[in-house]
Amino acid sequence: MILIGLTGSLATGKSTVSNLLRSPPYALPIIDADLLAHRAVQPGTYGYRQILAKFGPTTPDLLQPLDPTVPLGGGGGGVGTNAERHIDRAALGRRVFGDGEAKRRDRNALNGIVHPLVRLAMARELLYHFVRGRWAVVLDIPLLYESALDVLVSVVLMVAVSSPSVQMRRLRRRDPALSAAEAQDRVGSQMGVEEKVARTRARDACRGKVLLNDGGRGDLEREVARAMGEVRAEAGGPLWGWWLLGSPVGAAGAGAWEVYLGWRARRRWEEERRRERTRL
């Protein structure tokens, strides 16, 4: 089973691409890290309790306001009742996105709570798709490079726009509630588009593909078709997948080889960057 890591920067078009890959002719299963991260902090979960313990005492607006139409503690204690109020994602976002030591510390603390839970949920979903004999699975992970998960995937599809102003315009149009400063804080909390593109290009051509999303949706569809045509052509045939399914040792060996190739690409990129820095 091929693991395709789909990544990009904020509002560059990952969800648009994942919707294309989910639909025919690709019809691939998508594991969405943002969705898993949301599920991991639903009321009643371990993640929810951890966030309340860490941020609750210093973030007065951390929980959504009480709904006066629901009786206190009512609704059988299920999700969305006043028994346990949902986390206010916008308030938590204001707390962790942006520059400065305090924000960075808070962001790391939040990542430290949520990321292990997301990885666990991902592993569970991957196992499910592997057992079902799927030839490929898409891991939609905005922070693929930041959290070093690039070493685990066979192919990276990186959705990029060339101009920061296009990225900002699309972000503001999609999320009008975000102020310009909040939008900038969010973009600045991630690795830049250029660095992600450079890292993707440092992988072998068959393992790293940049999808430029500067034009219209038709152009993006063609970029996806081109990249997926290459991925299909470079993948082993269906017999290879079925052989791996029947051979746990073979599957473990193939997995270890993929991780080695991913690790080697990451190291190559880090060395290139070190050389560039010493040249400056």
Ligand X SMILES: CC(C)(COP(=O)(O)OP(=O)(O)OC[C@H]1O[C@@H](n2cnc3c(N)ncnc32)[C@H](O)[C@@H]1O)[C@@H](O)C(=O)NCCC(=O)NCCS
Ligand Y SMILES: Nc1ncnc2c1ncn2[C@@H]1O[C@H](COP(=O)(O)OP(=O)(O)OP(=O)(O)O)[C@@H](O)[C@H]1O
Chain positions contacting ligand Y, by CB under 6 A = 8, 10-16, 142, 170, 174, 213, 216-217, 220
CA dist 162 and 103 (Å) reads: 28
Nearest residue (CB) to ligand X, 82 versus 190 = 190
> Closest-CB residue for ligand Y?
15
CA dist 106 and 111 (Å) reads: 9
Q: If you ran DSSP here, which 8-state letter would residue 39 be given?
A: H
Residue in this structure with the two tokens 């639909």, named with its chain if needed: 23
184 binds ligand X (CB under 6 A): no
88 binds ligand X (CB under 6 A): no
Contact assessment for residue 34 and residue 40, using Cβ atoms and an 8 Å cutoff: no
Rounded least distance, CB 68 to ligand Y, Å: 32
Nearest residue (CB) to ligand Y, 124 versus 217 = 217
CA dist 3 and 5 (Å) reads: 6
143 binds ligand X (CB under 6 A): yes
Contact assessment for residue 93 and residue 186, using Cβ atoms and an 8 Å cutoff: yes
89 binds ligand X (CB under 6 A): yes
Rounded least distance, CB 196 to ligand X, Å: 11
Contact assessment for residue 5 and residue 157, using Cβ atoms and an 8 Å cutoff: yes
Binding site for ligand X (CB under 6 A): 10, 33-34, 37, 89-90, 92-93, 96, 107, 110-111, 114, 118, 142-143, 186, 189-190
